[in-house]
Amino acid sequence: MRDRVIRDEIHKDILVPARHATIIDTKEFQRLRHIQQLSTCEYVFPAANHNRFAHSLGAYHLAGQLTDSLKEVQPGILSDDDAELVQLAALLHDIGHPPFSHVLETPEVYATYHSHEHWGRLLLESEHTEVGAALKSVLGGQRTARLFSLMDGASQHDGVPIPPFLKEIVSSQLDVDRMDYMVRDQANTGAQIGGFDIARVLRALRVGDDGHFFVKSWGLPAIEAYLVTRYHMYHQVYFHKVNMLTQNYLVRMLSRARYLAGEGTLALSPALHNMLRNENLDAQGYASLNDAHVRVSIPEWAEHEDEALSNYAKKMLSRRDFHKSLRIEALTTEMVAVVKDRIEEEVAAAGFDPSSEVIYARISKRGYMPYEQGIQIEDGGDASEHSPLIRSLAQPNERALIFVPDEIRDGLEQRVREWIKPSQSSLVHFE
């Protein structure tokens, strides 16, 4: 096998040595072509149908760019062997994602539930998966074990230290995973939020005496732009109300299918049986699942006699008759707890089933966390101490969304405003 060049929409040419191509060409890694990066976000942004495969290659590329930069500006800080391990850790960080990515990473859907990190490790450690065999062939047993220790954030393996910056390249508040998905997601959604200069961020990173990353002072504006981009991507894209709603539809549809299959009133394909009903799913069975297995069943479920299943499936097919959110900007989970019973009574009185026609979603983003693996500037202080802009992003953000049938949204919204706080009833409606 020869070295290859993969053309990427974001990073242009990604150079892949032949030995790494043997890992990429395994069926478990190729499966990521069929795992959508942003799950149901395409219902808001039609071009947001890019996949985990491209993102994983992008993270791999950026890890290579960063390790090359470190070897140039801090000679001796990083061995070629560890630089390769970091790149492969970035390449394989998403190998365990379920169909539709994070959205289906829930015991509501999977009869055998584990986190995507757990499934990823099972796939990489298995002697029965192509990717596990390829990884061991490329690295050998000892270096494969060091790779796993690096991914776990261990400080050493077999007595040989693992500096913390190696893990930080792959997983931290300023890692190659986040850098790639933000620029890739922005490009594919068309979100106009400014963006940031990845190359400048990478050039500004250095390793301190404690083995952790810090940022050169001249790189602070690039860090500000990175954090502002992250803030706006969460608020404008990831937490968009229609994205939150369609994620709920998808999970509820599959949860209902799981229930009906258990009742014997819905036949499942072998793949969906593995997902929804198999309580002893193994790594090979998990790796056989992708988005297509769900998508192909939706038209059939839209015609099913079960009203709840068919309603959710029809919405996923047609994007019609979507629920509408109550337009109360300051709604919190505490407020929802106070009014939840009254909302459901009102919905039932209007002739709707509250169990399927009231949908709750919670948006929670802790913001930039300066004292939990924060971003250090070269004088030893956190980035937030140098930048009022970054300090403003450190505030946690949490709010709730309530979705109800369109026909009763306006009247119910007014009553909820009155129940929560009389002054809310005078707030201007917004879309």
Q: Tokens in use for 340?
A: 């939840």
Give 232's contacts (C-beta < 8 A, 6+ positions apart). Answer: 191, 193, 194
| Residue 116 bears catalytic tag | yes
Catalytic residue among 55, 61, 93, 116: 116
Q: Tokens in use for 53?
A: 């495969």
How many CB atoms sit inside 10 A of residue 140's CB? 11
Count helices and strands (H / E) in the chain. Answer: 21, 9
Spatial distance between the Cα atoms of 190 and 47, rounded to a whole number of angstroms: 8
Kindly report the three-state secondary structure assignment for every residue of 194-233. Answer: CCCCHHHHHHHEEECCCCCEEECHHHHHHHHHHHHHHHHH
Spatial distance between the Cα atoms of 145 and 158, rounded to a whole number of angstroms: 9
Least Cα distance to 78 among 63, 93, 100, 91 occurs for 63
Cα separations (Å) of 256 from 263, 297, 299, 356, 407?
Answer: 11, 13, 15, 10, 24
Identify any residues that bridge with 398 across adjacent strands, giving them in sequence order.
364
Identify any residues that bridge with 6 across adjacent strands, giving them in sequence order.
14
Q: Which residues are catalytic?
A: 116
